[in-house]
Amino acid sequence: MTIRIGVTSVLVDDQDKALAFYTDILGFVKKDDVPMGRHRWLTVVSRHDLEGVRLVLEPDEHPAAAPFKEALVADGIPFTSFTVEDVHAEHDRLRALGVRFTQPPVAMGPVTVAVLDDTCGNLIQIACKA
């Protein structure tokens, strides 16, 4: 049994915009960029783990995606969570780059978390050990 997690995904409203945000702002590195019909197989990885889990920037074309994403955003619920070394430092860095946070860093028991808007229709949590 060699099952493992190779990719995970976020549903984005625009792949170009998403690639710019996830690389230039969040700091991921582009891994795959393969044309597939009207869209691309587009993935990014952590610059600290180039062979690690890939994040697919996946078009949110399915009609069910829009109401699902809107409902999550309205309630402040992040679509997924990324791990950082220091949530406070990352919050300050991203705020300086103009990123909108719906939740500043808050200590929640064993972790400190903050929630940001990825500009592609998702909220994303960043987390570190408290």
Contacts with another protein by CB under 8 A lie at 70, 73-78, 102-104, 106, 108-109, 111, 113, 115, 123
The residue (of 46 and 125) whose beta carbon lies closer to another protein is 125
β 111-117/101-108 pair status: antiparallel
The residue (of 28 and 79) whose beta carbon lies closer to another protein is 79
From the CB of 47, what's the least distance to another protein, in Å? 28
Q: How many CA atoms lie less than 13 Å away from 72 in the CB half-sphere?
A: 18
Q: How many CA atoms lie less than 13 Å away from 17 in the CB half-sphere?
A: 10
The residue (of 42 and 84) whose beta carbon lies closer to another protein is 84
Q: In the structure encoding, which two tokens stand for residue 128, read together?
A: 């570190």
